[in-house]
Amino acid sequence: MSDMKQRILFVNSEIYPYLPESDIANVGRYLPQGIQERRREIRSFMPRFGCINERKNQLHEVIRLSGMNIIIAEVDRPLIIKVASISSARIQVYFIDNEDYFRRKQPFCDASGKPFEDNDERAIFFARGVLETVKKLRWAPDVIHCQGWISHLLPAYLKKAYRDDPIFSSSKVVLSLYDDTPTTPFHPAFAQKARFGGLTQEDLAVLETPTGINLAKLAVQYADGVILGAEKVEPEIVAHCKALGLPILPFDRKALEDGSYMDAYCGFYDEL
């Protein structure tokens, strides 16, 4: 028991009921609850998208965690942290917010289905915002579980820019891969804008061709283990995981449907 991972940080692109039900959103909702019920300590984060009704979901700003600025492409962006409770699950969700990046009514694309041109900056802001907030919480996670493409910069930041921070000195990264890989390339300057702390141009070389597949490859490069969260993850990304020799938990539709995946995920955390 003493060897078990006790603190799990969930970094989600989607959580139900804040976004509609999907495999990612449902796992984002029910996995933290299940892990908490298995006597682990958890924290859960997602972006505060503009389609989330603050009054209905009772979001409120956490003043002591807000107020920091994150510089992206030489522009200061205020970081606002909000929190809401899912009372039936006895869990809190922290929301990363910024008026320029996350107040739109659609999460990742405009009303016509075109991806937002600044999705690269939104991913940078989200990843750095989560890590800075966890530092302010002074809560050292044993495992950081990233789900959804917008979380895919976090493993690189953790292992490079934050590697000497005592809060994260023992943190392992689990990466859940889904079928949400963006097909439209990101901004050509993604790699340049993403550089921060100890991250060099060489570390981000794969993003010189800024595709969704390459962003996932970057996340895989700095992960300690990979979970296949969907049946149709891009084969090129899966092949990259295997080439690096990473521990991989296969996709199991039945386990997702009956909830037994939570025990499998727990066991996966403990093996890292």
Encode the chain (272 residues) as per-residue pLDDT tens digits: 345 569 999 999 999 999 999 999 999 999 999 999 999 999 999 999 999 999 999 999 999 999 899 999 899 999 999 999 998 888 999 999 999 999 998 999 999 999 999 999 999 999 999 999 999 999 999 999 999 999 999 999 999 999 899 999 999 999 999 999 999 999 999 999 999 988 998 999 999 999 999 999 999 999 999 999 999 999 999 999 999 999 999 999 999 999 999 999 999 999 99
> What pLDDT, on a 0 to 100 scale, did the predictor assign at position 149?
98
What's the pLDDT score for residue 5? 64
Kindly give the pairing relationship between strand 248-249 and strand 225-228.
Answer: parallel
Dist CA 214 CA 235 (whole Å) = 13
Q: What pLDDT score was predicted for residue 10?
A: 98
Residue 210 and residue 208: Cα distance in Å, rounded? Answer: 6
First to last CA, the chain: 15
CB atoms within 10 A of CB 160: 17
pLDDT at 197: 87
Distances (CA, A) of 262 to 58, 91, 153, 191: 28, 16, 25, 35
Residue 99's pLDDT is 94
Q: What is the pLDDT of residue 89?
A: 85
